[in-house]
Structure 1
Amino acid sequence: MLKKLWAVSMFTGITASLAAQVKTGNSKVFTLGEVVSYARQGDSANAVSMEQIRQFHRLNVSSALNLLPGISQSNVGPRNESMIYLRGFDLRQTPVFMDGVPVYVPYDGYVDLARFTTFHLSKIVVEKGGASVLYGPNTMGGVINLLSSRPVHPLEVNASAGWLSGGHEEALSIGSRMKKFYLQADISRYQRDYYRLSDDFSATKTEDGGKRNNSYSNDWRYGVRLGYTPSEKNELAIGFSHQDGTKGTPVYTGTDTLNSLYKSPRYWQWPKWNKESIYFLSNSTLNAKSYFKSRLYFDRFINVLKSFDDATYTTQKKPYAFTSYYNDYTFGGNLEYGYTLSAVNSLKTAVHFKQDVHREHNEGEPERKVADNTFSAGVTDRHVFNAHWTLEGGAAFNYRQSIDAQNYNSQTKSITDFPSNNSSALNAQAKLAYTFSSERSLTLSVDRMTRFATIKDRYSYKLGTAIPNPDLKPENTLNFGLQYSDARLRDISLDGSIFYNRIGDVIQNVNNVVYDTTKKQWLSQSQNKGRAEYYGAEAAITWHVTTTFTAGANYTFIKRKNLDNPSLHFTDVPEHKASGWLQYNISRLGFLVNGEYNASRYSTSYGTEAPAFFLLHSSTVISIANWLKVQGGVNNIFDKNYMLSEGYPEQGRNYFVKVLFNYSYF
């Protein structure tokens, strides 16, 4: 009785709220965070769902994205950063968004995806090729949008706790949906004290095997979001999230004598990798023909890196030892307006502004500041000719303005200004789709996209081996893509695509530009000297063999060529990648087996390779009750000694077990 009275007092109007949810979509996806909301086919090749993240036990964004074709997971070994390549484009060219808000680091455009846990996510959406100009600038390779979850019931509680080889994980999420308000709060932790190497690993001068030295990491995240829906067609939300990260960088163990780390290992630790964001999002239907969206955000990045003398990680007396501090922030926003010109034509326009501020110094040095303003204005038009043909076009003007660029001279201990520099770029795109039926379509796309040089591209001395180049021009690419999606076959869905990318003004390192008479060595410089082409194909299939048995597979082929200097190799992307999975459910038991093959890949531009590998994983889920499950599994069953980057071995055989709690009050 008390429970009923509490429910009535706290959730008056629940029936009306649930009815509205049915009309607007009873989805846990935070749709306010979507940028492009047109219905998309082929999601099996372009999105990772919350269910897949949990079934495959993918604890960070990098490993979750690796489930998709066209994605190559990589590891920047010297920095212990988990990255992905999208059809050969890195994260500088494929920015990461959280609910439509950019989260990449201002200094170099990268972001360590291993620091982003997945518990609070409802979906990860990948836009391949030239993403819509509505996302803003620097999307020449596509975009990755991490969509958080939204409650759909008066009370939702999700929790998990688990053990894994070398560490543990815990997470809690509480949400509530009332008549016009909803609240979502979450907290999670992923701690790994070490990971264990394969028994096939042979000891080296820097690594004795077993527990990988300096392989620890610890990631906390908490966030809260309050939403208000005054009507079915209007919504606004304000949110805050905070991440605390620490990690070590395992030392290079390879045999490449040309690699400077072979003779001079790095003993690095990161006591801080912290990020926090506050944002406001809104979507308002103005009338029957128009809408207005807004996003405002402030994002802060605090980073501390310590370089030690040796593997004891206790002293900092040698010349290469230092403590580096980053104190960066970004603020900005974008406005989007859409208008339905007719029953078959709709127009959308968006403007973006973002200011990136990077502040850094080594311990004992003064802080210097570099800052950019970036503007973008874009428009798209979508015309439906008939039941089969649809044409969409878009164009954008992008502009980057340098507002601060301080240069520090370690010899004179003085700070001066780099020359100011500005840059502009034009993006254009067209997409023609033919819909055979509601379940089968063919899409041809052509895009001309660009990427501005990052702060690091323009101003970095690369630890004293290079000279800056503030006047770097934007990179550009001409992307062609053909995608086919078919779900009309009985119990089978197919997705396939082919693509070709022609890239110009590639920013690459040019050796022997200036001779330093003091150091008696040649210095390099980043210049717009490169031309390249990336081309390949993707395929994905899902087959519901029976109501209890499902199978799936995907394959990616990609070739990257340096057209100006074929002897210089592009790194970190295998030419062939294939994965497959089998899932069987019976009564309260679920079984999953999945495997992945990666061909060999270059780890250096001069030809050092990380060998090909095949991994097999399995897991089991036991449903004790509708609200309680136990999951356990083993990864790398064959204990393969494999590497994503030469000299940086990954985990050997490892295990996990976890308890999942899921409760909803209707």
Structure 2
Amino acid sequence: MCKTAFFVLIMMIPGWGKAQNQESNRVVSDSVTPAFFQLGEVRITAFRKSVIKDRISQVAMEAHNKVEVSRSLNLLAGVNLTASGPRNESMVSVRGFDLRAVPVYMDGIPVYVPYDGYVDLARFTTFDLSAIDVSRGFSSLLYGPNSLGGAINLISKKPSEKMEYDGSLGMINTNGYRGNLNIGSNLGKYYFQAGYSYLHRDSYRMASGFTTRPYEDGGERDNSYRTDQMISFKAGWTPNERQEYVLGYRFQKGEKGTPVYVGDDPMNPLYTKPRFWQWPDWDKETYYFLSNTRLKGKDYIKSRMYYDTFKNILNSYDDASYTAQTKAYAFQSLYDDYTYGGSVEFGTAVIPKNLLKFSVHYKRDIHREHNSNEPVRNFKDNTGSFAVENTYAVTEKLTFIPGIGYSIRKNDTAEDYNSTTQMVSDFEKTGASNAWNGQLGVFYNFKENQKASFTLAHKTRFATIKDRYSYRMGTAIPNPGLKPEKAVNYDLSYSGVFFKALSTQFSVYYSHLTDAILSVNNVEPGKSQMQNTGSAEFMGMEITFKYDFREKLSLGGNYSYIERRNTTNPTVLFTDIPDTKVFFYTQYKPIQPIQWLVSTEFNASRNSTSYGTRAADFTLVNTAVSARVWRYMSVEAGINNVFDKNYMLVEGYPEEGRNFFVTLRVFKK
């Protein structure tokens, strides 16, 4: 859609410019923990109710024993669990878009890595979260830049009592354990929330159906260890009911191994040249300030400010002993990044029937990298944006939500390194990259529990530092002048509640991508380059339901289908996502203290390479039983992958076989 036509469409809407958020019951459990930090939300709010956002509550995460953010997100329709096998990273895709196009936030603060725009969601545990919000396509422009396909917001806890706590201790076979403690206190004008968690696995067990390979003999998966620790603290001051100020701190410390490729694809370079990688450090530290000041009537000002650091060490070894680094492919790579920035949001209801919101964002990303015994290379990006969103209540039943935004990114510093001369020089200077974003949503309430919506969103994503400047270990040519990717996302949704017990939602969607950043082969002999040459279309449907039967039995699940077409070059296939995913669960409470949950998930086969290597389809069954043994204590036990299925998200990287867990929980609220 051209800019002029889009702007005309927006300007024709009465009271253009204000926003609303989306919150449907597409979550697995619509129970939301009372300890919910509203200041951490980024919402397109309506006057009466919220509309269209998927939320995973703490209750659902605990019931399904999901201790990683990525596996929690996989409970939702339209969200697929993905992985980067060679880097042992856990990620998700939302309606076909990866995490570069669906940025991740913590209480509205961006946490994605400055260098490549990704974040390893296995490093983010769920122990201190109250909820996870997912927006698709039509996500709030108040998030800031790069929400091409949506946004993911991790929302922390907030105490509501004078003293409350929750914690757990657990064991996971084999040689794994977990523990966490959250403590909070709300004293009226002051509150604090603190948390600590620890998750460790020596390794995970391979499924019995795995066939021995040269670098993996089965049993315990070699080099699959992990350790993740997290400390969080925030203190809030509410001098009156119209003001809230919060200072917060969060520190994550991780280490992990990367299992070796054990697939059957001779075209994969790792088939003959395996990687022996370990990550002794994956550390992230964040300081932040949040505020909300309500002015006259419904007017308000919100602010977010943050300073975030990311330090990372990758060791590449000679062989599977993980001791020597003497071969040509052995190295130690070090990242030392930091980011700072903030946003200000102003909302006003000065125009009758309208809630108008304005936001301004600024973010400065500094990426510093080098291999041991090499000089440090520096990369510095500045990104700014402004946005206007409006919620226009046409009638009691009909709401329009238009929005428009502008973003700009300018590189200050980009340094190149010549390994032959051992000299650092500057990449060629480029001009600023800019992008317009806009969207329109129409929402109609037939009845109290019958809703329909149509949304249209034109979104963009800036090229990352890696997209523009990486040599990709000598196989690529940098392209500092990459333009933003663009997408137009359409969504038609209906949700309803029938017989007071059956909740349903149905969605169909279509996305058209232009200027997509794709790797073009043989720009020079044997070398590729990232270029804005791609055009593609994604389309699909999602169905979600939940049925509660007499408080003892609940049934729920979802169905997702997606087609992705590379219209520029159909022979280059999209990877990592199955076209079909089905999730179903049954929750039964035979007596009040006991709860039994069984879930099953089917994933169709998926491409692991652009030339057609596939990971086979699979079906998993998980089960768990929990019992309240005391007012402040419960015990849980369960089995994941009950039938010991040998399956893969990425060809050559088998996932965990059958595993057991036992957890003791304590809580006071």
TM-score interval (norm. to shorter): over 0.9
**Stretch moving more, 370-379 or 29-38:** 29-38
Match of residue 79 from structure 2: 71
Give the letter aligned to residue 571 of structure 1: T
Residue 666 (structure 2) aligned to one of 636, 661, 666: 661
Matches within 5 A, 1:1-40: 27-36=34-43, 38=45, 39-40=49-50
Structure 2 residues not aligned, in runs of 5+:
1-31
Which one is further off, 616-625 or 225-234?
A: 225-234
**Residue 468 (str. 1) matches residue 478 (str. 2):** yes
Which whole-Å CA distance do the structure 2 matches of 1:221 and 1:490 have between them? 41
Give 1:401's match in structure 2, choosing from 393, 399, 410: 410
What residue number does 1:347 align with?
A: 356
What pairs with 1:157-556 in structure 2 (closer than 5 Å)? 157-166=165-174, 167-421=176-430, 422-515=432-525, 522-556=526-560
Matched-pair contact (CA < 8 Å) for 1:130–1:140: no
SS state of the match for residue 63, structure 1? helix
CA distance in 2: counterparts of 1:539 and 1:405, whole angstroms: 46
CA distance in 2, matches of 1:192, 1:40: 40
2:33 and 2:58 in contact (8 A); partners too = no
CA distance in 2, matches of 1:512, 1:583: 54
Q: How far apart in 2 are the matches of 1:655 and 1:27?
A: 30
Corresponding residue of 2:15: none
Please give the alpha-carbon distance, in whole angstroms, between the structure 2 residues aligned to 1:440 and 1:298.
43
Contact kept, 8 Å, 2:381 with 2:412, in 1: the verdict is yes
Say yes or no: does 1:55 pair with 2:60: no
Partner of 2:14: none
Deviation, structure 1 residue 42: 5.5
State the shift of 1:587 in Å: 2.6
Deviation at 1:615, TM superposition (A): 0.2
Q: Distance in 2 between matches of 1:535 and 1:588?
A: 44
Tell me if 1:594 matches 2:599: yes
Pair 190,582 (structure 1): closer, same or farther in 2 beyond 3 Å: same
Contact 1:130–1:139 (Cα < 8 Å) also in 2: no
- Secondary structure of the residue that 2:39 maps to in structure 1? helix
Aligned amino acid, residue 95 of structure 2: R
Tell me what 2:147 maps to.
Answer: 139
How much identity, in percent, do the aligned residues show? Answer: 46
C-alpha separation between the residues in 1 aligned to 2:631 and 2:485? Answer: 52
* Residues in 2 aligned to 1:489 and 1:131: alpha-carbon distance in whole angstroms: 31
Aligned to 1:21: none
1:26 to 1:476, Cα distance in 2 relative to 1, 3 A: closer
Aligned letter for 2:413? D
- Give 3-state SS (helix, strand or coil) of 2:59's partner: helix
Aligned partners of 1:42 and 1:495 also within 8 Å: no
Gaps of 5+ in 1: 1-24, 516-521
RMSD over aligned Cα atoms = 1.0
Cα deviation, residue 289, structure 1: 3.7
Q: Deviation per CA, 1:30-53, whole angstroms, max 9, x where unpaired?
A: 00011115233466xx11100001
Distance 1:642 1:179, change over 3 A: same
Q: Is the 8 A contact 2:303 2:345 kept in 1?
A: yes
Task: Output the CA distance in 1 between the equivalents of 2:553 and 2:657.
Answer: 29
State the shift of 1:420 in Å: 2.0
Cα pair 1:41 1:485 within 8 Å, conserved: no
Q: 2:20 maps to which residue?
A: none
2:640 maps to 1:635: yes
Which amino acid counterpart does residue 389 of structure 1 have in structure 2? L
Q: Distance in 1 between matches of 2:472 and 2:44?
A: 41
1:289–1:52 CA distance, 2 compared to 1 (3 A) = closer
Matching residue of 1:19: none
Which residue type is aligned with residue 346 of structure 1?
Answer: L
| Matching residue of 1:17 | none
Deviation at 1:233, TM superposition (A): 2.3
Q: Tell me, yes or no, if the aligned pair for 2:33 and 2:59 is still in contact at 8 Å.
A: no
1:97 is aligned to 2:102: no
TM-score scaled by structure 1? 0.94
Q: Is the 1:42–1:485 Cα contact (8 Å) retained in structure 2?
A: no
Taking the aligned partners of 1:596 and 1:467, their CA distance within structure 2 comes to 41
Secondary structure of the structure 1 residue equivalent to 2:349 = strand
Q: Does 1:577 align with 2:585?
A: no
CA distance in 2, matches of 1:262, 1:133: 44
Number of residue equivalences: 632
1:600-615 equivalences in 2 (<5 Å) = 600-615=605-620
* Paired residue secondary structure (1:487): strand
Cα distance in 2, alignment partners of residues 226 and 420 from structure 1:
43
* Shift in Å, 1:342: 3.3
Shift of 1:341: 2.5
Residues 537-584 of structure 1: CA deviation (Å, up to 9, x unaligned): 001000002211100010100010000111111000000000000001
Whole-angstrom distance in 1 between the partners of 2:77 and 2:128: 23
Q: Is the Cα–Cα contact under 8 Å of residues 435 and 442 in structure 1 kept in the other structure?
A: yes
How much does 1:97 deviate? 0.2
State the partner residue of 1:568.
572
Counterpart code for 1:77: G
Aligned to 1:456, what secondary structure does the other structure show?
helix
